[in-house]
A = this chain, B = another copy of it.
Amino acid sequence: MELVLIAIGCGLLAVVYGIVTSGQVLRQPAGNQKMQDIAAAIQEGAQAYLGRQYTTIGIVGVVVAVLVFLFLGTVAAVGFVVGALLSGVAGYIGMNISVRANVRTAEAARVSLQGGLTTAFRSGAITGMLVAGLALLAIASFFYVLVGIQGRAPDDRTVIDALVALAFGASLISIFARLGGGIFTKAADVGADLVGKVEAGIPEDDPRNPAVIADNVGDNVGDCAGMAADLFETYVVTVGATMVLTALLVNTDVASLTALMALPLLVGGVCIITSIIGTYMVRLGKGQSIMGALYKGFWTTAILSIPLIYFATAYALGDLNAVIGGGEAAGLDVTGAVAEQTAGFTGMDLFWCMMIGLGVTGLLVWITEYYTGTNYRPVKSIAKASETGHGTNVIQGLAISLESTAMPTIVICAAIISSYLLAGLIGIAFAATSMLALAGMVVALDAYGPVTDNAGGIAEMAHMEDEVRTRTDALDAVGNTTKAVTKGYAIGSAALAALVLFGAYTTDLKEFSADLGIGANSVDFSLSNPYVVVGLLLGALLPYLFGAMGMTAVGRAAGNVVLDVREQFRDNPGIMDGTSRPNYARTVDLVTKAAIREMIIPSLLPVLTPIVVYFLIAWVAGKEQGFAALGALLLGVIVSGLFVAISMTSGGGAWDNAKKYIEDGNYGGKGSEAHKAAVTGDTVGDPYKDTAGPAVNPMIKITNIVALLLLAALAGHGG
């Protein structure tokens, strides 16, 4: 349990970092009165939205908590509530820092680019460390209480179910937050652009546009709070699933098993330390390259993590060359067909698997930068296609979005094979865990984006010098890439985590077979079983349907924004003269209501589908085929979700930066026909990259977790 206590210590360190750095950020000058007024309006809107969002989610959460309590007992219900609450807290604090850092970033950018970068990045780092720290604290403390204090065996069913329920709580909040925030931010953004830039011919972030505050609120509730909840979920699910799978598969004594289950926590802990060190390396070099500055932080963290993960593994497991587990340990196949692979693995094997995870993270960062950065072929090709009009811009953007799935898929396939060869399914789980161990740093890179975006908006609205806007724009362009990076990283880790969850599902099926009333190996997951094919197809459908709902929701809500703004312009002509202040709060309120209304049905889709599919197929063809179809559905949703999510997030980032590339003076620059076409592409990319695409990640996890809980409930684990 000492290992778990170290992890808890590291988690607390992250919280302390958050508090100290918050103090630093808040002590910075907040600019003049006008800037502070604008920031206050944004802050108020964001708090009002989050308040209402969490109330709505709270109602759903209470209902689900009662169900979890009834079907799975008290400990699981407590796990669910802890996961849900901390997920909400991570998003809430992140948003609160972000709405205070925006105006300070604008003020700091008045002095220098470095100043703006430091303030914005620190704010991002606070969110990052809190996400990783709280996630680690949640799992580690819960495990400590159940195993260390209450003295349960680490592979006790109560512990396993509680970890799964904790992950469920985090996921459920996260899908609502990601989708609700995503709809809010893009409805406001698209609506504001359409009615402001296109119809009224006023620039982006013009204070005369009643939707402009809503747009800035959106950055905070979507790109910051929603993203933080999403990554919190990814962390908890991945680390939790690794621990659960270890408990289910590894046959060894209690002390060794406890150490092995604590290892992911310890790795997460040491990587918080390397992430904190990394944050201090984010400094502009001679070339004033912002991406370069961020990379310094990222690579410092990644490289320092290598020795620390090695020492952590050695410390936890002792002899790195001793064989652990054996028997079922590395074998994946419930039918036992892959007999030669059940030979166990060593600590050194696990270390290499974790190195693979770090390698995947690095490669995904690099690939995403290639597809969304302004220096490379993809973005330039979209910018060039804009010369021949709106249509060719969109065609080329769609082509790039389809193409951008190829390299990540190949990297993920290589990671699956190599970590499986090293240590079987447990190897894949540890690769996923080490990916997530860097979450603090990755979230920091991402969360800095919306702060700079907001800072730019404030600079525009407060009529600050052009230089400030130029600096915040430069920071923001890099933010588009880092935002896409986080999404690619989250979905990539989801592909590995989903395999782990599927492994847990098949193992549970076998273990519960008597309780479920089926034969021990009677569920046929072979591709030759047509119910498996049906499951794959229905699973593959989910991201499409979910994406359709998300896109439609944004379109509809943006349409409402347009109508509202038109009405304000008509009823109050003073707005356009600048003599009268628009009613910002009314637009914020409208978007808030629309986002909350629109998020509910799509969020419930992945919760209800596994249950409906199981009962339907079981009714038609028997329980065994129901479980087969349900298992296949879990893989179908990841096989299709990976592509839908990557294509949407990379494609959207590329469109956005193609516009920025033109605004930098290429192909005619701002105001040219090419620019107009690029604005269309950017608008299309908005809901792609910030609403539908990123929400696929929690959706995949929810589907998997609901299936696991359904199994536990059907097997009658009350208690």
Contacts and interface: CB of A to CB of B under 8 A. Distances in A.
Contacts of A391: 190, 193-194, 679-680, 682-684
A409 B526 contact: no
Nearest to A506: B528
A385 B687 CA distance: 15
A400 to B, nearest CB: 7
A66 to B, nearest CB: 31
A534 B417 contact: yes
Contact of A548 (B190, B399, B683, B687): B399
A246 interface: no
Interface in A613-638: 617, 620-621, 631-632, 635-636
Copy total for this chain: 2
A534 to B, nearest CB: 5
A528 B502 contact: yes
Contacts of A403: 544-545, 548-549, 552
Interface string A531-570: 1111011101100110111011011001100100000000
Interface in A357-402: 385, 388-392, 394-396, 398-400, 402
A246 B524 CA distance: 23
A537 B390 contact: no
Given A332-B530, A385-B555, A541-B409, A392 B647 contact: no
Contacts of A332: 528-530
A679 B537 CA distance: 33
Interface stretch (A269-277, A333-341, A448-456): A333-341
Given A338-B529, A545-B403, A190 B537 contact: no
Nearest to A531: B417
A406 interface: yes
B534 A416 contact: yes
A524 B337 contact: yes
Interface string A406-447: 100110110011001100010010000000000000000000
Nearest to A498: B533
A566 B532 CA distance: 55
A184 interface: no
Interface in A679-698: 679-680, 682-684, 687-688
A552 B399 contact: yes
Interface of A: 190, 193-194, 198, 332-335, 337-338, 385, 388-392, 394-396, 398-400, 402-403, 405-406, 409-410, 412-413, 416-417, 420-421, 425, 428, 495, 499, 502-503, 506, 522, 524-534, 536-538, 540-541, 544-545, 547-549, 551-552, 554-555, 558-559, 562, 617, 620-621, 631-632, 635-636, 639-640, 642-643, 647, 679-680, 682-684, 687-688
Given A410-B541, A533-B639, 20 more contacts: A337-B524, A337-B526, A337-B529, A338-B524, A390-B390, A391-B682, A392-B555, A396-B555, A400-B548, A405-B544, A405-B545, A409-B540, A412-B537, A417-B530, A495-B537, A499-B530, A506-B527, A525-B528, A536-B635, A537-B639
11 contacts: A332-B529, A332-B530, A385-B559, A395-B551, A399-B552, A403-B545, A406-B544, A412-B537, A495-B537, A537-B642, A541-B643
